[in-house]
Structure 1
Amino acid sequence: MRWDAVRPRLRRSTGGRPAGRSLTGWRGAAQLRSAPGGDASLQFSAVTTKKRAVLAFSGGLDSSAILTWMVREQGWEVVTFTANVGQRASDSLDAAAKKSRELGAITHESVDLRRELIDEFFVPAMQMHAKLEGRYLLGTSLARYPTARAAMRVARKHRATVLSHGATGKGNDQVRFETTWLVLNADPAERIDGLEIFAPWKEKIFLDRFGNGGRVVMRQYLQSMGIPIASGGNEGEDPYSQDENMLHISSEGVALERPEESHIGKIVYTKLTDPAMAPDRAEYARVFFERGRPVKIQIEDENGVVTARPIEGDSVAILKAANEVAGRHGVGILDMVETRYVGIKSRGVYEAPGHTLLLEAHQDLEGVVHDGPVIDEKLSQAPLLARLIYNGGWWSQQMRKALAGLQEEQRHVNGWSLVRLYRGSATPVARWSPNSLYDPQLSSFESMTGTALDPEKARGFIDVQALHLWAAERARHQARTPVARG
């Protein structure tokens, strides 16, 4: 097969506009069509006429300005949709729907993605112990995949061929959204014929209007049109922006752009209690797992008395309960400077109480059911998989391979872990599994005979495992001896 038969064929079309003023340039669309030999050829083309677009819409400043601009100034037909991924304010979904119609959307869809987010994305990432740069639990990254996929469903339902998002050209979300759309369009079950992508923050016509000043200019633009927008700061500038779902809430923005300054006092925790103000009495969460999936959470006091009705079976309810109990004790705060996919350093403050609790419990339970090599392999693979998730690679072959491997790896992760929650800490203190590799007799220093391990055989084991070290040390010293010249 020839490479030029399947590579993207790039072309520009200005649709009657002056050169360089097309709405999307060559990045506008991804359309699959037959190529010689039956191969699929990915055809990129520009959005040359005003078409029906689906826009991810939250009702916030950015999406409100983009929707208004697309409808009122550019003449688009826009279908808006909001993903329910577990935001705190239940009325925010209704407010977004009402606002989008007021701003000119032809219709609005609210899609409940909470179960998809947890079962298809959160649980596997937790099982992988994925943490970006060893710290960030990827709450935003994971939520983008079901959201992007849902946009395609909405587009098919409303016969739209253009997908649009409000992510900037500096961040990671642009990659997650657009990669998902391009890749899933190769799946006949997800495909949108003639799919095109419109990303305003990468278009000159939009940047000319809003690029110099960003959110401040957007706020002024909406105010000039008499459109109300919630104010979050002084002189029309938000001190920080937040993104929330069931897994976490992230805070970024002007107030946090000096990493040498503490975030304390600059943001208000919304998903957890300030650890300094948390109760001065520990609680314990006993988390039960079946095949590596959390299936029950039980809250106990210091005496082991169950203090609330256990939550079991429903993954959404279990994560909600984990968020509540861990958040009550100030668990899951992270302030870090991370490396975006495009290479830019970015500071964020994250609150992920439930995710932190469930991950601690899961990792603790794996300690008794996996042997050392499996644990070491997971430790080496986790940062690679975390970076893959962060960089938009959920649909890659590498991720599919990892997901398939989890089926076998998690088969024996059954049992429970007991986690102590106290003023910002989540500390596993006990665990049990029917598949445990822990043998008290083998492990005990009090019993030296009558077990499968004969202490006398330890001599030979030590001699053999030390042989290569001895040989290397001898060679190192011999290398210092001058070579005799004949």
Structure 2
Amino acid sequence: MTDKLNKIVLAYSGGLDTSVIIQWLKEKYHCEIIAYCADIGQGAELEPVREKALATGASKVFVEDLKEEFAQDFLFPMLRANAFYENHYLLGTSIARPLIAKEQIRIANQEGAEGVSHGATGKGNDQVRFELTYMILKPDVVIIAPWREWDLDSRSSLIDYATKHNIPVPVTKKKPYSMDRNLFHISYEGGVLEDPWYEPDADMFLMTKSPEAAPDKPTYIEITYQQGNPIAINGEAMSPANLIATLNEYGGENGIGRIDIVENRFVGMKSRGVYETPGGTILHAAHRALETLVMDREIMFLRDSLIPTYARIIYNGLWYSPERELLQKTIDDTQIHVNGTVRLKLYKGNCIPAGVKAEKSLYSKDMASFEKDDIYRQADAEGFIRLNALRLKLYSQTFGNM
């Protein structure tokens, strides 16, 4: 099928890989290359993208502003689920790929392109995330993954290829780590970071101050929630994307949201990644704090048992799968009563709940108080304990003490 391609839509970022890929696709497939860049909060990185793509051989360039859709339809559902992968990673790269791929397929249909391409390597997770989305949204699409085809087998060889073809790239052999940025986070990997013993240079981080350099005075903020979604900061209503961007500023200023982990990739190997997720870290803490006030114990237990599965589904690129949709409906049902306000103290890398309130709360001060009350009969606890001890007593009598 690749011999008959007339148009290919490339998911283009302007970075090292995709800058080289435009030229490589033209050389190999001799067809029209359409560059597509999703604006999901990269900021100033997008300014030269259109001009650069045209200069390096693209026939058309689409730069689509998807920030609000990204926040509303992808980040917020994931945050309602309190999703994190392997106890730490807040899935900032993983959650962006299905949206990028969805829009890429839309443009391919619009432009009559038979093929789509991406810059993900054959070792990473992103190839899976992109291609699973392509296949479910356009089963007959031709997928071209240059990293699985070409003989450019390293970052260094890509830099040499770019130099040979006069393609400007934002990476050098001296500083070859890869960076991926969006509204939710920045990820850093590869190059000098491939040594897990290597501590990242202080000047690598772009979204957050170091905790040592953060203000010596704590910052207090309040976040208001409605059905599990944050809707206001300090009483000011904001759109989803603006709310996250604002929290990035608060978190970044106070050194919040850095992690350095070795994670298990879907393809089977371990990988070291360094991440900055300031606003997302704040939202996780706030959401959890509010849920303690308004969520039933057994519902919380069941929902929490689903988090590892839900997170793994996102990490593995299965956002559009029926299992994710089923889990999302279940999780969203748990969020109906998650309404209220959380106060947080931000201080030198720490995000500390400092107060929570809700009009409808399952917390009863009168019942929980250590002072005298007429609601709870303490004598009732004896029967409760005896019933819970029944099986333990039977076990001990039958098999002896542990």
Structure 2: where are the runs of 5+ without partners? none
Q: Which whole-Å CA distance do the structure 2 matches of 1:106 and 1:364 have between them?
A: 50
Does structure 2 retain, via aligned residues, the 8 Å contact 1:176–1:392?
yes
Farther off after superposition, 225-234 or 275-284: 225-234
Alignment counterpart, residue 432 of structure 1, candidates 352, 357, 365? 357
Residues 1:136 and 2:89 are matched in the alignment = yes
Q: Which whole-Å CA distance do the structure 2 matches of 1:219 and 1:93 have between them?
A: 21
| 2:209 partner SS | coil
Alignment counterpart, residue 469 of structure 1, candidates 392, 396, 399? 392
Residues 1:84 and 2:44 are matched in the alignment = no
Does structure 2 retain, via aligned residues, the 8 Å contact 1:149–1:180?
yes
Map of 2:105 onto structure 1: 152
Corresponding pairs, count: 402
Does structure 2 retain, via aligned residues, the 8 Å contact 1:311–1:321?
no
Q: Which whole-Å CA distance do the structure 2 matches of 1:406 and 1:382 have between them?
A: 9
TM-superposed CA distance for 1:264, in Å, is 4.3
Does structure 1 retain, via aligned residues, the 8 Å contact 2:156–2:173?
no
Give the TM-score normalised by the residue count of structure 1. 0.80
Map of 1:320 onto structure 2: 245
Q: Which whole-Å CA distance do the structure 1 matches of 2:293 and 2:309 have between them?
A: 24
TM-superposed CA distance for 1:88, in Å, is 2.6
Q: Output one character per residue of 1:117-142: Cα deviation in whole Å (capped at 9) or x when no partner.
A: 11111111111111100100000001
| 2:86 partner SS | coil
Alignment of 1:30-69 (within 5 A): 46-69=1-24
Does structure 2 retain, via aligned residues, the 8 Å contact 1:311–1:318?
no
Please say which structure displays the higher CA radius of gyration: 1
Alignment counterpart, residue 221 of structure 1, candidates 141, 144, 161? 161
Say what the alpha-carbon RMSD is for the aligned residues: 1.6
TM-superposed CA distance for 1:233, in Å, is 4.4
| 1:218 partner SS | helix
| 1:419 partner SS | strand
Does structure 2 retain, via aligned residues, the 8 Å contact 1:291–1:412?
yes
Q: Which whole-Å CA distance do the structure 2 matches of 1:260 and 1:118 have between them?
A: 34
TM-superposed CA distance for 1:198, in Å, is 1.1
Aligned residue type for 1:67: I
Aligned residue type for 1:391: N
Q: Output one character per residue of 1:380-407: Cα deviation in whole Å (capped at 9) or x when no partner.
A: 2111111110001111222111111133
TM-superposed CA distance for 1:84, in Å, is 0.2
Does structure 2 retain, via aligned residues, the 8 Å contact 1:284–1:418?
yes
TM-superposed CA distance for 1:73, in Å, is 4.6
Residues 1:454 and 2:398 are matched in the alignment = no
Say if 1:311 and 1:233 are closer, same or farther in 2 by CA, change over 3 A.
farther
| 1:450 partner SS | coil
Higher relative contact order, chain-length normalized (CA < 8 Å, sep 6+): 2
Between the two proteins, what is the percent identity of the paired residues? Answer: 37
Structure 1: where are the runs of 5+ without partners? 1-45, 187-193, 299-309, 481-486
Q: Output one character per residue of 1:88-130: Cα deviation in whole Å (capped at 9) or x when no partner.
A: 31xx324111111111111000011111111111111111111
Give the TM-score normalised by the residue count of structure 2. 0.96
Say if 1:48 and 1:429 are closer, same or farther in 2 by CA, change over 3 A.
same
| 1:416 partner SS | strand
Q: Which whole-Å CA distance do the structure 2 matches of 1:66 and 1:253 have between them?
A: 19
Map of 2:282 onto structure 1: 357
| 2:344 partner SS | strand
Alignment counterpart, residue 123 of structure 2, candidates 145, 167, 170? 170
Map of 2:214 onto structure 1: 278
| 1:121 partner SS | helix
TM-superposed CA distance for 1:201, in Å, is 1.3
Map of 2:62 onto structure 1: 109
